[in-house]
Structure 1
């Protein structure tokens, strides 16, 4: 059998083919592995890009939130600035004093010394407006807001209350005028001689004032001195008891026998002889006896008046202060 050396034996050809096939398969496997590795690398690169994009999106979202917040704050500041500009550029508001209401929803106010009928803002209830109260008016003289009451004016003295809404008062130089009682005073008990604050522009009586003149001249205290603490003045004490205590304790007997009690007692003597102590003892003892008679606790008061300070160069002022002192004592 002749063998072709160039082609080799059949066994050699099969072996070579098998080896080539194995090489091809190995190359195919290596190619597939390379493709897989390339794909893995591409996936990793894509994942990195996706993460970068997501990170950029988060940063952009955060920046967008900050921008939205900054824009909102800027818009609010612009709104506040606009309100401030509008407020500063608005025309000045004026004040009026409420007089009365009308059936059509309007109100009568006193503005610059004259009466005016004006409209009221719908948000303001008519029950919220009281007589004598100040009202804020816009440039069209319409009520846009309620205010308080005037806190300054002239001090006047109540002479007589005509009705729940009007009273006669005394001004300077004994000039008399009829004033309108404002709402804060209508719930108080007013007595002749009370000091009141009056707005002379509107004629309203706004506030009850303390009687400072009388308070400065008197020292009010509750006495705790008894007759047993005073020595050597037994005769005087008995005379004072008969003149002061008996008319109070036995007023019915005085009326029955038509006896006229004394209007007052004058104690005189040098300093330190016991005049003030006797007066305090009378007030204390009389309060105790009235308490026993009525069965209720009665407190005695002693007013120590600074006499020289009552004097005044103006005619009638000294008498007026004395009258106020007696009014305070009766209270």
Structure 2
């Protein structure tokens, strides 16, 4: 009996061991199955065909058969290519809106609809046609007739409003928020004089020769055929009086300029940068247009651009998003382009002259460069005595 019990006990132990191994093998097999399914899903994702974005134009045809299955096609634009493509049965054709972005699979079938693209070139509305279409123009005055996207179908659009358009130039996608351009340019006379500045006698003398002399003694410059500089750059470490000097120049011109009170246009450099294509260039043109208008009245005009390195970075440096490849040429075209810039002088201030595009600093442009250093002992004593 004892031998039989021992045999049964040993068989039970063997059975338990076999069951434990069976459970372990089952778990390992389950894990392997899950890992295989995961790897297969990743492989399917990597091997998936590319999908294409397009702009919805209109539903070309739509019907439902006896089984309730939708058969529809739509006109879309992909780049500059117009196409009639099928619409997937799970996408309701009645909900497809003009101007919205749609997704096409590898078989060029519309499989989903996304939101309207909020990025694009900015155009100014010149005329609102009775049927809702818009006549828009770029900064060069070239006109284009566009349709409204679905998001603008009920929007109130007036002449002079600005809208973004898609790459195919067929749809106005969204209204650009109005921007008060006057906030970017402050036309004022600062209350700072040269007497308020201590420790910068050398810099003040140089800028007076470069800026004040051509305006205060214009007849002498004309007699001897001398051309005043177009621009002056004040550079050096921050907090040492560059902006203060520019304000004092404006005050001096306003008080005693030949031809009447001078005009000081203070430009907020970083605020000129705009996310919409062409907007920064338009603002630069607006600033110089205002300067020319004021100079045509016989008044000397100073355009002061603070933090110039943020606006006129070296082209191709890769430091920013390469917006400077169009902003710098626009600035240079305004400074010495076809339109003359008489009676206007540009004063720039920067802490990083090494980041400004070299073309801006060439002779005939911002060729007068005045370094404003940190005050040494003698200059510091003058500042303390002054205050």
TM-score (norm 2): 0.43
Higher helix share: 1
Greater relative contact order structure (CA < 8 Å, 6+ sep): 2
Query: Highest Rg: 1 or 2?
Result: 1
Name the structure with the higher strand share.
2
The two structures have a TM-score, normalised by structure 1, of 0.49
